């Protein structure tokens, strides 16, 4: 609407200016023709009443006094030229000292001679002023050419220029008001039209696969909007069906993977248990004096493998269902320092920028995070390496408490960096690869983050951030 209003105003202004100029040209053309007719009739009257013979040489004598009278009556300059274009007499004062008298241009003279009505109007422009010069043959009673009548006419455009200026001022005021009205109407109209589209856009942005999406209900929408809404609602139905199928498929896949992992981990201790039982059965001798010791060794082996199976079951149970958080207000610095006391390695160092950083966390889960990270850091350092170091730091940054665990071990290879927090992923010969996945779950339950930086053969640093909620 704004664009059409602007274009319409430009077109109307252009057409109006063109029309004004056309009317001005037509007015001056008609005015010149009327004056030319009136002067020609007056000249013919003079020719008919003169006592001088009618020839070219006598023209200056015939109009010696009359030419000024004609010029005053008709308010125009009048010139008479002979048939060769030389000036005979003029109502404009010409000084005798002027060497070059006015003369008709040869090309103009040829045009006059070749025209059917022996008449020609020449246009010229001098210093932004437009002139028309009318040339016509003056004839005697027998229609024999006597001279060429020239009537110079200046177009006075001041009146029409003022009219155009006044018109444009009024036109500009009206269209400025109309332009403002168009902007207001366009705003409200576009808001009304796009209101339904905005609702649909917001709903599409809120649409997610892992949640229940609401359908759109608009009663006063147009036909096109209603078609779009129906398409969206159908998409929501199909998306919900797909999400249900996908969730079921993911759960089944997860259970299959979990069952395979549990079966694999349980099979590991069953093999040595079977071999131990078979060996004991073959070598069992009640009369053997060392039977008590052998029975004791057999029992320890069986119990050790049973403990391994218990640990496997416990690890998977902890990963599947984390215990509820028992949050309490505690000093993170003291808890981290206390968690490090269970380690006997003398290369573990601790540093805290503050003696006390208070946060609301679960004590058990915080200790679990620290012990798991420190244990991984110790295992990342090769046994044969000298100058081993695990450095634990606690500090406050903005409204978060941060715990950094840094080692100088072998680092994490590039191909394994993206899989560090995946369940069941491990680079160690023992363990089930659930440690980092479990602590990541713990940290994210507190809206915290865990990141790491690593460099092969230099070391790795894990950084844990917890929000301080006192």
Strand ranges inside 58-172, DSSP E: 79-81, 87-90, 119-126, 129-139, 145-154
Average model confidence (pLDDT) across the chain: 80
Number of neighbouring beta carbons within 10 Å of residue 143: 7
Residue 283, burial from CB neighbour count under 10 angstroms (0-12, 13-18, 19+) = exposed
Query: CATH classification of 248-320 is 3.40.50, yes or no?
Result: no
**Alpha carbon distances (Å) from 18 to 9, 13, 125, 230:** 14, 9, 19, 54
Fold: same for 248-320 and 327-467: no
What integer pLDDT is reported at residue 423 of this predicted model? Answer: 63
Greater model confidence, 234 or 159: 234
Helical axes 223-283 vs 158-206, angle rounded to 10°: 30
Name the CATH superfamily housing domain 2-161: PAS domain (3.30.450.20)
Task: Tell me the pLDDT tens digit for each residue of 173-186.
Answer: 888 888 888 888 88
Q: Which residues pair with 459 in a beta bridge?
A: 455
What integer pLDDT is reported at residue 97 of this predicted model? Answer: 46
Domain ranges, ordered by start, for the chain? 2-161, 248-320, 327-467
Number of neighbouring beta carbons within 10 Å of residue 412: 20
Task: Tell me the pLDDT tens digit for each residue of 286-345.
Answer: 777 777 777 777 777 777 667 767 766 666 665 555 555 678 889 999 999 988 888 888
Please list the alpha-helical segments (H only) found in 92-206: 106-114, 158-206
Residue 423, burial from CB neighbour count under 10 angstroms (0-12, 13-18, 19+) = buried
Q: Please tell me the distance from the alpha carbon of residue 82 to that of residue 384, in angstroms, as a whole number.
A: 128
Q: Which residues pair with 119 in a beta bridge?
A: 136
Q: Does residue 155 contact residue 132 with C-beta atoms inside 8 Å?
A: yes
Number of neighbouring beta carbons within 10 Å of residue 448: 19
- Say whether pLDDT at 157 is over 90: no
Q: Which helix (H) or strand (E) holds 395?
A: strand 390-397
Q: HSE (CB half, 13 Å, CA atoms) of 383?
A: 0
Task: Tell me the pLDDT tens digit for each residue of 67-126.
Answer: 888 888 888 888 889 888 888 888 887 654 455 677 888 888 888 888 887 888 887 777
- Cα 157–163–168 angle (5° rounding)? 125
| The model's pTM | 0.38
Q: Does residue 217 contact residue 236 with C-beta atoms inside 8 Å?
A: no
- Say whether pLDDT at 276 is over 50: yes
Q: Does residue 46 contact residue 62 with C-beta atoms inside 8 Å?
A: yes
Q: Does residue 373 contact residue 321 with C-beta atoms inside 8 Å?
A: no
- Say whether pLDDT at 278 is over 60: yes
- Tell me which architecture the domain covering 327-467 has in CATH: 2-Layer Sandwich (3.30)
């Amino acid at each position: 609407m704004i664009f059409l209003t602007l274009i319409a105003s430009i077109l109307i202004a252009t057409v109006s200016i063109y029309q004004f100029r056309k009317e001005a040209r037509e007015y001056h053309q008609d005015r010149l023709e009327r004056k030319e007719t009136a002067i020609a009739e007056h000249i013919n009257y003079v020719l008919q009443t003169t006592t001088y013979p009618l020839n070219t040489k006598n023209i200056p004598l015939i109009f010696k006094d009359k030419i000024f009278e004609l010029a005053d009556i008709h308010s125009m300059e009048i010139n008479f030229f002979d048939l060769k274009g030389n000036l005979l007499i003029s109502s404009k004062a010409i000084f005798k000292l002027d060497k070059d008298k006015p003369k008709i241009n040869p090309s103009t003279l040829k045009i006059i001679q070749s025209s059917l009505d022996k008449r020609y109007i020449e246009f010229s422009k001098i210093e932004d002023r437009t002139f028309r010069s009318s040339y016509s043959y003056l004839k005697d009673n027998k229609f024999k050419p006597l001279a060429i009548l020239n009537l110079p006419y200046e177009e006075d455009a001041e009146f029409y220029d003022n009219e155009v200026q006044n018109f444009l001022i009024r036109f500009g005021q009206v269209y400025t008001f109309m332009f403002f009205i168009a902007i207001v109407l366009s705003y409200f109209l576009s808001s009304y039209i796009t209101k339904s589209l905005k609702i649909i856009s917001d709903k599409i942005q809120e649409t997610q696969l892992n949640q229940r999406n609401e359908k759109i209900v608009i009663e006063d929408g147009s036909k096109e909007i209603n078609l779009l809404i129906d398409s969206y609602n159908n998409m929501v139905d199909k998306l919900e069906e797909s999400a249900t199928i996908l969730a079921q498929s993911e759960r089944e896949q997860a259970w299959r993977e979990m069952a395979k992992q549990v079966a694999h981990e349980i099979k590991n201790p069953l093999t040595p248990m079977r071999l131990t039982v078979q060996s004991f059965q073959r070598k069992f001798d009640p009369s053997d004096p060392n039977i008590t010791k052998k029975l004791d060794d057999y029992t320890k082996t069986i119990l050790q493998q049973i403990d391994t199976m218990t640990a496997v079951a416990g690890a998977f149970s902890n990963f599947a269902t984390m215990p509820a958080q028992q949050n309490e207000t505690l000093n993170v610095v003291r808890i981290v320092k206390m968690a490090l006391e269970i380690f006997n390695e003398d290369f573990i160092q601790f540093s805290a920028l503050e003696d006390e950083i208070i946060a609301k966390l679960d004590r058990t889960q915080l200790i679990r995070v620290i012990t798991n990270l420190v244990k991984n850091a110790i295992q990342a350092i090769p046994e044969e390496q000298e100058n081993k170091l695990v450095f634990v730091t606690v500090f406050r940054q903005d409204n978060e408490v941060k715990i950094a665990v840094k080692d100088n071990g072998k680092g994490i290879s590039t191909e394994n960096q993206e899989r560090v927090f995946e369940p069941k992923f491990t680079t160690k010969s023992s363990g089930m690869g659930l440690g980092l996945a479990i602590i990541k779950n713990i940290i994210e339950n507190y809206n915290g983050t865990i990141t790491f930086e690593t460099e092969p053969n230099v070391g790795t640093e894990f950084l844990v951030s917890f929000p301080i909620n006192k």
